[in-house]
Chains A and B, each alone.
Chain A
Amino acid sequence: EAGVTQFPSHSVIEKGQTVTLRCDPISGHDNLYWYRRVMGKEIKFLLHFVKESKQDESGMPNNRFLAERTGGTYSTLKVQPAELEDSGVYFCASSQGNTEGETQYFGPGTRLLVL
């Protein structure tokens, strides 16, 4: 069974540019999460999809970030325009359900560097 995949693995862009990150969850997983780790700090929750609907987007830092999951399969996270402080590692995770003990399976992350 294929795991969570993310593309690209690395992205280097200039301040003000736009970047779109993609996440393909494990097939059949309705729940998809985005997290990020900035400047070696804690991994922070960004948002949670259940199928194509945003269940919780309380962690989104500002309106420069837009996440979509059209069709309830893969998801994209767009940063527009990117700022220096957006540099970090963006992780995607998926789970089949969202009960208390449900394991979230993580992708390898996209390393974003904004210059």
Chain B
Amino acid sequence: GQSLEQPSEVTAVEGAIVQINCTYQTSGFYGLSWYQQHDGGAPTFLSYNALDGLEETGRFSSFLSRSDSYGYLLLQELQMKDSASYFCAVRGNYQLIWGAGTKLIIKP
């Protein structure tokens, strides 16, 4: 079967750094994406990794290791507005295969 594993919940302090891990097992792989979703909102694209290594976009970075079927999202200088659910998703042929999401709770 196809599955993505990520922690259900992560708690961090404002201003800190947090890493959300994702491991995947899928029949096809064209890249790993990360999406952010605030309660009741649309999933919003954050990053995409097709090749091994680190991609940086402002306070957010994403890493991929295809040999380990593993990636992570790194959020730096956490702000209260970063409180949301974060989803990893593998790009299959055309569709996205999703993890269950990680709820990030940020404390002041």
Q: A residues bordering B, Cβ < 8 Å? A: 3-4, 31, 33, 35, 41-45, 48, 55-56, 59, 91, 98, 100-101, 103-109
Set B30, B35, B94: member contacting A48, Cβ < 8 A: B94
**Closest B residue to A95 using CB positions:** B94
Contacts of B4 in A (CB 8 A): 42
Q: How far is the CA of A108 from the CA of B31 in the complex (A)?
A: 24
Contacts of B91 in A (CB 8 A): 100-101
A91 touches B93 (CB 8 A): no
13 further A-B pairs in the complex, CB-CB below 8 A; given A45-B92, A91-B42, A103-B45:
A3-B42, A31-B94, A35-B98, A43-B87, A43-B98, A48-B95, A56-B95, A100-B30, A101-B31, A101-B48, A104-B45, A106-B44, A108-B40
**Closest B residue to A55 using CB positions:** B94
Contacts of A33 in B (CB 8 A): 94-96
Q: How far is the CA of A44 from the CA of B87 in the complex (A)?
A: 12
Contacts of B96 in A (CB 8 A): 33, 35, 43, 45, 104
Q: What are 9 of the A-B contact pairs (CB < 8 Å)?
A: A35-B96, A43-B96, A45-B92, A55-B94, A101-B31, A103-B45, A104-B96, A106-B35, A108-B40
